[in-house]
Structure 1
Amino acid sequence: MSLTGKQKRFLRAQANELTPVFQIGKNGLTQEVVNEFDESIEKRELMKVQLLQNTDLTTTEAAAFIEAHSSIQVVQKIGKVLVLYKPSTQEKYQWYSSRLPKVNG
């Protein structure tokens, strides 16, 4: 599912008050870490991940790795923080996906 600009704007606004759930440090980003993101985002749909100063990754590299190794979408990269989104498969956790602006089509 590809998000429109309006949908990304909505999600960025919602993520404004969130605090980072995960931190990526000197050990970098591996498939196991991305799997942890996937499990955690199932109940949240939207979360922030922070890159620490001691990591060798840039936010662009981290975003590309996450999107290539999962179905999570990076909504925003700001400074050393990524905002991640993935709609939940369970209806009781679909707070953001149920409120996303609909695509006109």
Structure 2
Amino acid sequence: MLKGKQRSYLKGIANKMNPIFQLGKNGITDNFIEQVDDALEARELIKVKVLDNSFLDSKDAANEVCDKVNAEFVQSIGNKFVIYRESEDNKKIELPK
């Protein structure tokens, strides 16, 4: 579980990031979950854009993705959301205590 200070730190990093995935009308598929899982292992922090043709709300989609990939929800703004999971092999982000 992320603490407030850690979540704020991750939001600052995510502010400069571009979304690397788009969630569309197909919704959250097994292939999408697999790609997100791989990206979290490589990057630790990712941003996802929920397209207008998706039937999901960005916060609902974020919570569902987090449950499936064992990640932490960071934030949801408009049609984008940010999630974080500490990498086992490629640790890049040092969270404040």
Mapped to 2, the partners of 1:53 and 1:8 lie a distance apart of: 27
Matched, 1:94 2:87: no
Mapped to 2, the partners of 1:100 and 1:56 lie a distance apart of: 34
Match of 1:58 in 2: 57
Uncovered stretches (5+) of structure 2, i.e. residues with no partner: none
Q: Secondary structure at the match of 2:86?
A: coil
Report the TM-score, using the length of structure 2 for normalisation. Answer: 0.93
Which 10-residue stretch deviates more, 29-38 or 43-52? Answer: 29-38
Match of 2:71 in 1: 72
Cα root mean square deviation, aligned: 1.0
Matched, 1:42 2:37: no
Mapped to 2, the partners of 1:33 and 1:67 lie a distance apart of: 12
Whether the 8 Å contact between 1:76 and 1:82 is mirrored in structure 2 is yes
Alpha-carbon offset, residue 72 of structure 1: 1.3
Which structure carries more helix by proportion?
2
Match of 1:20 in 2: 19
Alpha-carbon offset, residue 13 of structure 1: 0.2
* 1:11-41 superposed Cα distances (whole Å, 9 cap, x missing partner): 0001111100000011111233112101111
Which 10-residue stretch deviates more, 52-61 or 29-38? Answer: 29-38
Alpha-carbon offset, residue 70 of structure 1: 1.8
- Counterparts of residues 1-20 of structure 1 (less than 5 Å): 2-20=1-19
Uncovered stretches (5+) of structure 1, i.e. residues with no partner: none
Report the identity percentage. 38
Q: When the two structures are aligned, how many residues end up with a matched partner?
A: 97
